[in-house]
Amino acid sequence: MESIIPRKPNAQGAGNIKAMRHVLPVFLLMLLLLLGVVQGHVPLLPSPGIQPDAAVQIEDANKSWAAYALLPQGAIHYYRFDREAGQRIHLEIITSPQDPAFAPGFVLMGAGLPKGVALRPDIVVPEGYGAVLVNGSVPDDAVYEPFAPSAYRKLGGLDMQAPQAGEYLVAVFAPSVGNYGLVVGFEEAFTLEEWILLPLRLISVYRWEGQSLPAVFAPILAVLVAGYYFLNRRRPDLSQPRALASLAGLLFLGSCASILYQMTYALTRSSGGEEAYITAIFAAISATIGAAALYLALRGRDREFSVREKVGLRIVGVLALLAGSGLLIGPLLTIISTAGGRSRAADKPADGKARKPKGLRGQ
């Protein structure tokens, strides 16, 4: 049962609100600057074509895409894209460190390319097309990708200008079964939609690496369980809106834990790692967002949020969406938690009685 005794203004709480007003703009600027330098391949998870006429279409061969797929024993996967004469063609073949012996290669086919290249007899070369063969060679070390975070091995690549305008085909082959990634394009940039959906697509990329679903979600689940235990003991009286906002905060903290786990997992399987500080910044952003959401959710004991708390939570939700934190569920919960009910006036105590202005107290 909630107390009906008016509470005194919390000077520390007011100070925290003022501090957040100064911190949030700086935090938002840091996030926008970081997003401006984000580089990486946009993940594709296609159903690969096993014949040239069923090849996967790459719409923009300038943009850097990474098509992740499982290549069955003896199978060939086909991709296609269009180029004008003189335009750059950039291709790479990558694998997971989980498959150290798997060595796929690829063939680029198109008009104007050399003819008479010796290929596997089951690779279909369209009439009038030439070919360039790139056999995969397993390197000694894997490469650390800070923005995912993940690790991969680069087995081979091709960078050239298109000799003629037209459609080009890529055939991926291997002597054995395994997971591969075909990188097409060179401009590493994300649209807003691609960036927002990236955390969900990375789940499939981590599965491609060989991780199990329980392992992928273990850090997030650990934070949720620990957070539920803590809240159930310390704040069992939480209203539904504050409980939803608290759950959003835990999901943001779970994203931080997941980023740190994936960073550690990738660094143990790759060399270098000089750019790991970029990954750590993303983890710190998720941690800050989670702390802000929990602070706003737990700072009061009123059932409904004040107007300021609602605004703060919605700002936190937008920042989380831009930062790729909370698996989309967290930002959604911040909106749901502040959508219904009446807003409590920020300048009134829980009993609804207006306080006297400071200058009139004691008169």
Count of domains for the chain: 2
Measured CA to CA, the distance from residue 120 to residue 133 in angstroms comes to 10
- Give me the sheet containing 88-95, strands edge to edge: 42-44, 65-71, 178-184, 88-95, 150-161, 143-145
Q: Identify whether 113 is part of a domain.
A: yes
Read off the CATH number of the domain in which 57 is found. 2.60.120.380
Amino acid at the residue 193: E
* 289 and 181 within one domain: no
The secondary element (H helix, E strand) that includes residue 150 is strand 150-161
Q: Identify whether 358 is part of a domain.
A: no
* 285 and 251 within one domain: yes
Q: Identify whether 132 is part of a domain.
A: yes
* 53 and 29 within one domain: no
Look at residue 163 and give its three-state secondary structure.
coil
Measured CA to CA, the distance from residue 184 to residue 172 in angstroms comes to 12
Domain that holds residue 297: 11-37+212-337
* 181 and 47 within one domain: yes
* 251 and 137 within one domain: no
Q: Identify whether 202 is part of a domain.
A: no
Q: Identify whether 196 is part of a domain.
A: no
Omega before residue 149 within 30° of 0, cis: yes
> Which tens digits make up the pLDDT trace of 233-270?
999 989 999 999 999 999 999 999 999 999 999 999 99
> Which tens digits make up the pLDDT trace of 287-308?
999 999 999 999 988 889 999 9
pLDDT per residue of the chain (363 residues) written in tens, 0 to 9: 344 334 444 444 444 545 555 555 555 555 555 555 455 679 999 999 999 999 999 999 999 999 999 999 999 999 999 999 999 999 999 999 998 889 999 999 999 999 999 999 999 999 999 999 999 999 989 999 998 899 999 999 999 999 999 999 999 999 999 999 999 999 988 888 998 999 999 999 999 999 999 999 999 999 999 999 999 999 998 999 999 999 999 999 999 999 999 999 999 999 877 889 989 999 999 999 999 999 999 998 888 999 999 999 999 999 999 899 999 999 999 999 999 766 665 545 545 554 444 444 444
Q: Identify whether 242 is part of a domain.
A: yes
* 182 and 63 within one domain: yes
- Strand pairing class (77-83; 56-57): parallel
Measured CA to CA, the distance from residue 60 to residue 98 in angstroms comes to 30
- Strand pairing class (42-44; 65-71): parallel
* 222 and 185 within one domain: no
Helices (H) and strands (E) in the chain, counts: 7, 11
| DSSP conformation letters of 276-345 | HHHHHHHHHHHHHHHHHHHHHHHS--SSSPBHHHHHHHHHHHHHHHHHT-STTHHHHHHHHHTTSSPPBP
Two structure tokens written together for 238: 């939480």
* 28 and 55 within one domain: no
Q: Identify whether 362 is part of a domain.
A: no
* 81 and 33 within one domain: no
Which residue, of 189, 222, 242, is where some domain finishes? 189
